[in-house]
Structure 1
C-alpha cells in the first residue's frame, strides 16, 4: 500500500507520526512524507497523480496541511481522518457549535474576531477560559478571573485572528485525555494547561463507562476515526473541552502499531463520513456508544492482527520533494 503523510515542521522530529511511518515501512508499505510548510507544490500535479491509497494529516491547526488534505479529498482520494471532520474540529468555534447542537456536554462558547469584543461577555460568566479558535497543544490558553484581568490581557490577544471564551469548569487541576484508535479507547490523566504542576506525570487511568460513552459520541458527532478528547470532571459531570484529530496517542500501549493498523484499515475502507453540520440526530436514534470501554488487545491478538507485509522491493520511506 502507498501512503502520503502530510507532516509540518512542528512535528518533524516528533514520535508521532514518525514512529507510525517507521512501523508502516517495516511492514513493507511505501510512505511518502510531504512537508506542507517547506515545499513548493504544484497543486494539479500533486493531487492529479492518484498515486497514493490514502493521505494522512499530522499538522498544527493553523498550518497549510489541511488545505492539501482537502484538495486530495476533492480529487477523490481517501483521507485519514475525513477532511470535513478535521475542519469541523480544528476551528474551535465551529466545533463548539456542532458539539452543543448535537448534544455533547460542552460549555457555552463565545467567539469574537477582535479581542476587545470580549468585554461584552457578561460578568456572571467569569472566570473565563480564553484561547485561539485555531490553537493547538495548549497554545495561548488563558484563565481570566475578572473583566479587569481581561483588560490587561487584551494587548497579548491582539495578534489572534479569532478567539473563543468559555466559562471555566471547576476541576481538580487534571484533564482526562481519551484516545480513540482502531475502535478502542484509552484514557490518560495529565496536568491541565491552566494549572501547570511539574509533579503531575501523565499516566494511564481506568476509563469509566460514562466518559467512554461521551468519547465514542464525539467520534460519531464529528465523523472522526482517529482522535483525542479532553474531558474535565466538573461538579455537574464530565465536560468536553477540546477535540483533536490525530493526537499524540501518548501512553497508548503499542501506539505506533495500533495507529498504523488503523491507518491501513481506513485506507482500505475509507474514513467515516462527517455528519451534516447543524443537524442533530433524529429523536430516538441511538448513537453508536459502547456501554463500557473496550478491553485492550492481548499481545497475541495484536500480533495476529498485524497486516501482511507487501513485497519487500516496494518498501521505501522517503520525503517527497513535490
Structure 2
C-alpha cells in the first residue's frame, strides 16, 4: 500500500509516528511523509486522487496539516481519522458541545473569544480550568481558583485566542488516559499537568468496565477510530475532560505495530466509522455506529488490563 503521513515539525523526531512509519516501511509499504509546516505544497498535485491509499495526520492543533487532510477527503481519499471527526475534537469548544449533547459525562464548558468575557462566569463555578480551545499536550492549561485571579491573568490569556473554561473536577491528582487502537482499549495513569510535578510518566493500569464503556462511546460519538480519552475519576464518577485524535499511545505495548496494523486495516476498508457520525452528533440524530458493549470476550472493542498495579 502507499500511505501519506502529514507530520508537523514538532513531531518529526517523536516515537509516534516515526516508529509507525518505520514499521510500515519494514512491512514493504510505501510511506510518503509531508511536513506541512515548512514545505511549499502544490495543492492540486498533493491531493491527486488515487495517489495514496490513505492519508494519516499527526500535527499540532491549528497546524496546516488538517487543511491538507480535509482537501484529501474532499476529493474522496481515505483519511485516518476521518477529517471531519478530527475537526470535531481539535476544537475543544465544539468537542464539548458535541459530547454534552450526546450524553457523554463532560463538565459544563464556557467559551469566549476574549478573556474578559470569562469574568461573567458565576463565582460559584470556581475554581475553573482554563485552556485554549485549540490547545494540545497540556499547553497553557491553568487552574484559576478565584475571579480575582482570572482578572489578573487577562493579559496572558489574551494571547491564547479562543478560550474554554470548565469547573474544576475534584480528583486525586491522577489523570487516566485511555487509548483506542485496533478496536482495543488500553489505560494508563499519570500525574496531572495541574499538579506540583506538572505531569509524570505514566504506567499501565487496569481498566474498569465503566470507563471502558465511556471510552468506546467516545469513539462512536465523534466518529474516531484511533484516539485517546482523558478521564478524571471525580466524586460523581468518571468525567471526560479531553479527546485526542492520533495521540502518543504511550505505554501501549508494541504500539508501533498495533497502530500500523490499524492504519492498514482502515486504509483497506476505505476508512473506519461512518462519516455521518459527527453530522448526527451535531443534528441530534442517532449515530449509525452502535456503541460497543462493555469489554467482554465476544466484543470487538476489548479492554486490555495489565497484570497488576
Normalised-by-shorter TM-score class? over 0.9
CA RMSD of aligned residues (A): 1.8
CA positional deviation for 1:273: 2.2
Given that residues 5 and 58 in structure 2 are in contact (C-alpha distance below 8 angstroms), is that contact kept between their aligned partners in structure 1? yes
CA distance in 1, matches of 2:36, 2:267: 21
| Total equivalences in the alignment | 296
Given that residues 126 and 146 in structure 1 are in contact (C-alpha distance below 8 angstroms), is that contact kept between their aligned partners in structure 2? yes
Given that residues 70 and 83 in structure 1 are in contact (C-alpha distance below 8 angstroms), is that contact kept between their aligned partners in structure 2? yes
**In the alignment, which residue of structure 2 is the partner of 1:183?**
183
CA distance in 1, matches of 2:90, 2:16: 18
Q: Tell me the TM-score normalized by structure 2.
A: 0.92
CA positional deviation for 1:42: 1.0
CA positional deviation for 1:199: 9.0
Given that residues 229 and 240 in structure 1 are in contact (C-alpha distance below 8 angstroms), is that contact kept between their aligned partners in structure 2? yes
CA positional deviation for 1:296: 4.7
Give 3-state SS (helix, strand or coil) of 2:138's partner.
coil
**In the alignment, which residue of structure 2 is the partner of 1:102?**
102
Cα deviation 1:78-107 (Å, max 9, x = unaligned) = 000000100000000000000000000000
Runs (5+) with no aligned partner, structure 1: 298-322
User: CA distance change for structure 1 residues 25 and 4 in 2, over 3 Å: closer, same or farther?
Assistant: same
User: CA distance change for structure 1 residues 158 and 75 in 2, over 3 Å: closer, same or farther?
Assistant: same
**In the alignment, which residue of structure 2 is the partner of 1:290?**
294
Give 3-state SS (helix, strand or coil) of 1:116's partner.
helix
Given that residues 102 and 281 in structure 1 are in contact (C-alpha distance below 8 angstroms), is that contact kept between their aligned partners in structure 2? no
CA positional deviation for 1:6: 0.1
Cα deviation 1:264-289 (Å, max 9, x = unaligned) = 00001112124113234549x96223
Select the structure of larger CA radius of gyration: 1
User: CA distance change for structure 1 residues 135 and 50 in 2, over 3 Å: closer, same or farther?
Assistant: same
CA positional deviation for 1:295: 5.4
CA distance in 1, matches of 2:303, 2:158: 46
CA distance in 2, matches of 1:96, 1:86: 14
Runs (5+) with no aligned partner, structure 2: none
**In the alignment, which residue of structure 2 is the partner of 1:31?**
31
CA distance in 2, matches of 1:199, 1:193: 4
Q: Tell me the TM-score normalized by structure 1.
A: 0.89
1:222 maps onto 2:222 in alignment? yes
CA distance in 2, matches of 1:291, 1:278: 28
User: CA distance change for structure 1 residues 296 and 171 in 2, over 3 Å: closer, same or farther?
Assistant: closer
Given that residues 129 and 143 in structure 1 are in contact (C-alpha distance below 8 angstroms), is that contact kept between their aligned partners in structure 2? yes
